[in-house]
Amino acid sequence: MSERQRGPGPAMTRRRAVGLTLGAGFAMSPLAIRAHMPPADDTGSPPGGFDFAHPEALVSVDWLRMRLNDPDLVLVGFMPAEELESGRIPGSVQVDWPELEVIDTSDASIESWQQDVQQLLGGLGIAVGSTVVAYDNGTLLSARLWWILHYFGHENVHILDGGLPAWQAMDGEEESGAFEAPSGGSAYAGTPNADLLAQRDEVLAMFEAPDVVVLDARTPEEFAEGHIPGAANLNFRLNAAPEPPKFFKRADELRAMYDEIGVSGDKLVIPYCASGVRSAVTAFVLYLLGYDNVALYTGSWLEWGEHPDTPKETGALPIPLPRVPKPY
């Protein structure tokens, strides 16, 4: 039986909170990658068999390679600058999750954050008409940039399936060394969609409602240390293959995984983690699957766990998480 508590769980570093430690693994060969992901069509959609509701959000190495010279393309390496200097897709700009973070979800904080992020996006060269492709180095965390642009109503934003490891395994051209950051630009002129962002008071008002699923994207160990009462738990890493390149799993596997923990399209789903970064991966996958009623709680446990008036619960789930066979 879980134990309700008033205080937060044990303190953790920001890097631990976001879960940036990567496991070692083998690199897939170009042949194996092509077997996993044949060339996408001109819309950016993955091939038949993946059966996503929004397949255009996920693009392949071949799709990107054909568009590298597109003047409207903004290619964003979502990782620390020193990692991008070690190797990157040519023409990339750089941003990382701490620059896009917002933990305090009060109205004033969200309004200030929106203004800061719009300025940052414009400084990266992103305009409303840009084709944006975000990629990471195997963390899956480029979904945080996808979610932010999705929140601002950007229509043409994609994630590179498999990230930089997939590009490298397919012998994609690379640059290394120092890169020139963009010299600024007009603030991005998107329009925020409040339905895609859950604030603390909103979560507090409805987290126990029968038509709401609060979904914790952290590890089972973090969940046991402290979580929102009644939350389901599914580690964000289970959305993709365990070894690099970490391609997202097929739609039927993902749907089965979420169905097993009670996440369905007829409910409002509120993903959270420690700071809204890992749970953005969950939000992205649910969008791929067509779960259109999803609101990311970006303040997540770092806000909820510190607040004196929010209920907390400790202990593991009474049933084990589903064990999903490795698909690749």
Three-state secondary-structure class, residue 96: coil
Euclidean distance between CA atoms 217 and 109, whole angstroms: 24
Residues forming a β-bridge with 272: 216
What is residue 137's DSSP assignment? S
Taking every pair of Cα atoms in the chain, the longest distance, rounded to a whole number of angstroms, is 57
Compute CA distances 216 → 125, 191, 252, whole Å.
33, 27, 21
Q: Give the residue carrying structure tokens 């126990």.
A: 208
Q: Which of 95, 273, 277, 281 is catalytic?
A: 273
Residue type, 36: H
Q: Give the residue carrying structure tokens 């903004």.
A: 74
Contact 142, 135 (CB under 8 A): yes
Three-state secondary-structure class, residue 111: helix
Contact 201, 107 (CB under 8 A): no
**Would residue 25 show up in a list of annotated catalytic residues for this protein?**
no
Cβ neighbours, 10 Å, residue 23: 10
CA 157 to chain centre: 13
Q: For residue 131, what are its two tokens?
A: 């084709």
Catalytic machinery residues:
273
